[in-house]
Structure 1
Amino acid sequence: MKKRKAHLLWIVTKKRMKWPRKGMRRMKAAVTVNQRSDEIKNWLEKFNLGSVVFCAFGSEWILEKGQFQKLVLGFEDTNLPFLVAVKPPKGTNSVEEAFQKGFQERLANEFAKRGHTVSFLLPKTARLRLSNANLHPRLITFRTLSVPHVKGLPYGAETTSDTDNSLALSSAMDEMQEQVKAVLAEEKKPDIIFFDFANWIPNLASEIGCKAVFFSVVSPAIAAITLLISTSKEKLLTVSDVMEYLPNYPSSNAPVLRKNEARALAVYANQPNNWMIEFLSKGVIGAKQSDALAVRACREMEGAHCDHLSVLYKKPVFCTGPLFPEPTDEPLDDKISNFLKKFGSASVVFCSFGSELFLDFSQFQELVLGLELTGLPFLLAGTKPPKGTTSIQDALPEGFQERVREKAVLYEGWVPQTQILRHTSIGCFVSHGGSASMWESIVSDCQIVFVPTRGDYCMNSRLMAVELQLAVEVEMDENGGFSKESLSRGVKAAMGDDSEVGGQLKKNHKRWRDVFLSNGFADNYIGKFIRDLEKLL
């Protein structure tokens, strides 16, 4: 079947949505060469008269590696076939050595395989955050949506990072249908629209003759339990319902939910007038009406979960792979950078509970006291102030700041989590167990500790700590809470390299990290993901 260019539209409600920048489009075949004349001639004969861009910098001009990469990426963004004849960049033995990761694979595409384009429809604040990450502005474009104010939505709130009232945000999305229709009328008709909780997208996609793909930013196990929770609107859930719905997979070693967790989930789902159930139900409706589901997952880790999700929804489930963020050399904030410089390699605990989780006041205090109790230097950043407060400083125990002044930094606001995890001083990452944090921690060099305060986080934690055995799960009580003592024990167990637990964790972590960072692993997933999407068209 002849390949054709796909135009993709992405409806964004998550502030830190990840997307496969590399590989979401097929480029026209292009060549950068130091080849014999007959090879060049044969390549040029594939193209029409006057269609190829030729670039030559002479036999004496040698580019810096960074300049060379900008040169070829600039030609790539023209979407034209091109021939570059240059000396190998400084510090390399060949031009191939200087290609950015994934570039050579894109060069192998035939001329007929045209590039995909992606349009993001997103609020202003999300656009400001994502625009700097756009490496290919000719292929990836942003269209700003205006989020209307609705009942229950704080003024100025546009994403899930601005409010924990997801239902109100979803209701605001419902009011934006005409905006989306107007954008679609202006744009070239997309082939595929990705969405999450805007459950009216499948009908809209059907009207204009394109496909709708529900993109889940949570793990397939969490996506599966969401379907069960949505049924509580029709009948009360029991503990057995929850336990039987999620069997012990991928192996008997890892019960996805323990009995007390299943009980808490059932009680939560059965609460009358629970707006979260209404919100999740809207997502389920959209997923059921979609043409396929896409999940950020790898079959090596969660293949059984993906198969289970496909059976539940009776739809194909496409895996994007890990979607690791691009490394950046942007300097850290001086406060964080200067603090980390004071300590040796792998000695600092980094704690982040994400931009969407609000801890109770008492649990926040247990968190900071538990970090103090470890006796290790720590950085608390990227964590929301607890409920009922406006800043982290307001929630600190009496005398806490004075006690930890020399060995701790509490940083309010967003931080580049991936970059911090790459810092040599970080030895342990304490996280709530969100999906993004899970993936980022896997490819880090530090030990991993999860504090799963909710049922969805429990599933990620169970996968990492019990099934894969590359993380520590902090002991939680019957009510789903943790103590400063249990947090301290978890961190010390992970940081104890000489202990049996710490050593085994490090060994298992390295094994999985090597798998995910192996040459071509992520790119192969993106290639398979694109082929799966093409089959829908």
Structure 2
Amino acid sequence: MGKSGGSKLNVAVFPWVAYGHFIPFLHLSNKLAQKGHKISFLLPKGVKPKLESLNQYPSLIQFFPLVLPRIDGLPPGAETTSVVPLNQQKHLAFAVDQTRDQVESIFKVTKPDIVLYDFWFWIPDLARQLGIRPILYGVVSSMSMAFNTKVVTNETTAEEVIELPPGYPSSTVRFKAEEAPIVLFKAKDFGSGLTFYQRIKTTLTESDAIAFRTCREIEEPFCDYVAKEFGKPVLLSGPCFPETKTEQLDEKWVNWLSQFESNSVVFCSFGSQSELQKDEFQEMVLGFESCGLPFLVALKPPQGCLTVEEALPEGFEERVKGRGLVYGGWVPQELLLHHPNIGCFVNHCGYGTMWEFLLTDCQIVLIPEIGDQILNTRLMVNELKIGVEVERAKTRRVSKESLSEAIKFVMDKDNKTANMLRANHSKLKQTLSSRNLQEEYVNTFIQALQDLVK
């Protein structure tokens, strides 16, 4: 069990309604429960069955389902971002905001000492009325949080996004003009009469402390910046990697991968929310074809197509037979990444995926799509120097040539820069996979929570 020290905590957790938030909140809940602390986990009713298998301590972690009201503009039964496009997520946020009475009833029954939350701007006010300490738990990089809340305001123009303000702890984060509008998504309405930016800003300024799923080894200057700018304690939970699974990779993947040499296969996966246009999809698969290496590409069918097969360029399947596979279903990303024959991982640099690839030996090629992914990518490429970002045209399109070049560059065993990236990644992996590192972070995190409720 490890040392836990101090009194046992009663913690409520209430993540944003996306699997990229539910899962890290549940990983943290497991770490807290492992030390004997009690967790009330609030989530939409339909999500509960999907997360139960990840609850390692059902006697200490209890799920509390919320019933989301019907909202105009929201598809019937929609409860998470995986079924709601980005431009409609304001309706989803508004629906969850309407559950305040349900949340209050749950808190009155469970009587938590602390609530860990992320997007719910109204939680601090409710928590204080009930004598609960509100703590924001960010499952995005502190670099991204620092940027979004201190750099982007409602009045920010694209020109200002390109120029960082004095004091921002990175001279290497640079934005091209065409990226600024993506970052400025923050200025759009995000439900309950708030912009995305105002929602996040309120959750930060109203919290008693700000916690992050990160560690100083990766983001120290950004954590210090957030603490200084907001004048609050910043607590770090560490990466909260789940306990090593004994799950085995399915035989069909093992058989397919076994045809190739060690570290030779390029694997591509873009997360559950990404949906490409058909022409983008075709350009991308042609990039994998022209890199000349074996590849496994796991992407959702592009817009307007029911299957990936119908979207493939003419003659593609015949040309890559025996070398390349494009798959439209779900794949066990984490298990695939640890297969010895996978040598390169092309991805969008979502925060959860980032932690997964940090623990692998793969070379990293990044194609970020939205704001925080762009910041995570700059952290990996410019600050930590462990991967490369694919060059994009001014239109933000990725050409088959630029994708192919990036893959060939990192996979070139004789390239000094590629070898430096590999060495940096290997060193960081070694640091992060130390059991003591995670244990120390969790113990320090719990101690900080206990100090807050004394």
Report the counterpart of residue 98 of structure 2 in structure 1.
Answer: 175
Cα distance 1:534–1:282, how it changes in 2: closer, same or farther (>3 A)?
same
Of residues 431, 436, 442 in structure 2, which corresponds to 1:520?
436
Q: CA deviation at 1:211?
A: 0.8
Deviates more, 1:223-232 or 1:350-359: 223-232
1:349 aligned to 2:269? no
Report the counterpart of residue 28 of structure 2 in structure 1.
Answer: 20
Taking the aligned partners of 1:248 and 1:445, their CA distance within structure 2 comes to 31
Structure 2 counterpart of 1:351, one-letter code: C
* Residues 368-400 of structure 1: per-residue CA shift (max 9 Å, x gap): 11111112221122x433344444334332332
CA contact (8 A) 2:262 2:340 kept: yes
Of residues 109, 121, 140 in structure 2, which corresponds to 1:199?
121
Of residues 128, 146, 160 in structure 1, which corresponds to 2:81?
160
CA contact (8 A) 1:430 1:449 kept: yes
Deviates more, 1:309-318 or 1:442-451: 309-318
Of residues 91, 111, 133 in structure 2, which corresponds to 1:211?
133
Q: Identity across aligned pairs (percent)?
A: 39
Taking the aligned partners of 2:452 and 2:385, their CA distance within structure 1 comes to 37
Q: CA deviation at 1:352?
A: 0.8
- Aligned residue for 1:214, secondary structure, equals strand
Q: State how 1:163-312 maps to structure 2 within 5 Å.
A: 163-164=84-85, 165-187=88-110, 189-228=111-150, 231-232=153-154, 235-240=155-160, 242-245=162-165, 249-250=169-170, 252=171, 255-260=172-177, 263-265=180-182, 278-312=195-229
Q: CA deviation at 1:481?
A: 2.7
Cα distance 1:140–1:366, how it changes in 2: closer, same or farther (>3 A)?
same
Structure 1 counterpart of 2:142, one-letter code: P
* Residues 400-452 of structure 1: per-residue CA shift (max 9 Å, x gap): 23333422233334333211111112111111111111111111011111112
CA contact (8 A) 1:351 1:431 kept: yes
CA contact (8 A) 2:365 2:389 kept: yes
Taking the aligned partners of 2:196 and 2:184, their CA distance within structure 1 comes to 17
Taking the aligned partners of 1:448 and 1:246, their CA distance within structure 2 comes to 31
Q: CA deviation at 1:322?
A: 1.4
- Aligned residue for 1:448, secondary structure, equals strand
Taking the aligned partners of 1:453 and 1:277, their CA distance within structure 2 comes to 23
- Aligned residue for 1:330, secondary structure, equals coil
Q: CA deviation at 1:236?
A: 4.4
CA contact (8 A) 1:148 1:172 kept: yes
Q: CA deviation at 1:266?
A: 6.8
Q: CA deviation at 1:22?
A: 5.1
- Aligned residue for 2:317, secondary structure, equals helix
Q: State how 1:390-429 maps to structure 2 within 5 Å.
A: 390-429=306-345
Taking the aligned partners of 1:125 and 1:451, their CA distance within structure 2 comes to 32
Taking the aligned partners of 1:442 and 1:175, their CA distance within structure 2 comes to 38
Structure 1 counterpart of 2:50, one-letter code: R
CA contact (8 A) 2:283 2:399 kept: yes
Report the counterpart of residue 417 of structure 2 in structure 1.
Answer: 501
Q: CA deviation at 1:361?
A: 3.4
Taking the aligned partners of 2:308 and 2:190, their CA distance within structure 1 comes to 28
Report the counterpart of residue 364 of structure 1 in structure 2.
Answer: 281
- Aligned residue for 1:245, secondary structure, equals coil
Bigger proportion of residues as helix: 2
Q: CA deviation at 1:340?
A: 1.8
CA contact (8 A) 1:367 1:487 kept: yes
Q: Over aligned residue pairs, what C-alpha RMSD do you find?
A: 2.5
Q: Unaligned regions of 5+ residues in structure 2, if any?
A: none
CA contact (8 A) 1:293 1:318 kept: yes
Taking the aligned partners of 2:391 and 2:166, their CA distance within structure 1 comes to 22
Report the counterpart of residue 404 of structure 2 in structure 1.
Answer: 488
Taking the aligned partners of 2:259 and 2:168, their CA distance within structure 1 comes to 45
Structure 1 counterpart of 2:364, one-letter code: I
Report the counterpart of residue 327 of structure 1 in structure 2.
Answer: 244
Taking the aligned partners of 2:183 and 2:377, their CA distance within structure 1 comes to 19
Deviates more, 1:236-245 or 1:302-311: 236-245
1:386 aligned to 2:312? no
1:149 aligned to 2:70? yes
Cα distance 1:261–1:390, how it changes in 2: closer, same or farther (>3 A)?
same
Structure 1 counterpart of 2:337, one-letter code: L
Q: CA deviation at 1:248?
A: 6.2
CA contact (8 A) 2:152 2:161 kept: no
User: Which structure has the larger Rg over C-alpha atoms?
Assistant: 1
- Aligned residue for 1:24, secondary structure, equals helix
Of residues 455, 458, 483 in structure 1, which corresponds to 2:371?
455
Report the counterpart of residue 119 of structure 1 in structure 2.
Answer: 40
TM-score w.r.t. the length of structure 1 is 0.76
Taking the aligned partners of 2:184 and 2:237, their CA distance within structure 1 comes to 33
TM-score w.r.t. the length of structure 2 is 0.89
Q: CA deviation at 1:238?
A: 4.7
Q: How many pairs are equivalent?
A: 441
Structure 1 counterpart of 2:207, one-letter code: S
Taking the aligned partners of 2:120 and 2:365, their CA distance within structure 1 comes to 34
CA contact (8 A) 1:23 1:523 kept: no
* Residues 229-271 of structure 1: per-residue CA shift (max 9 Å, x gap): 7621xx2425235523376634x4xx21234256445765667
Q: CA deviation at 1:277?
A: 7.8
CA contact (8 A) 1:358 1:386 kept: yes
- Aligned residue for 1:20, secondary structure, equals helix
CA contact (8 A) 2:89 2:190 kept: no
Q: CA deviation at 1:156?
A: 2.5
Of residues 11, 18, 21 in structure 2, which corresponds to 1:8?
11
Taking the aligned partners of 1:220 and 1:291, their CA distance within structure 2 comes to 17
Q: CA deviation at 1:476?
A: 2.0
CA contact (8 A) 2:162 2:175 kept: no
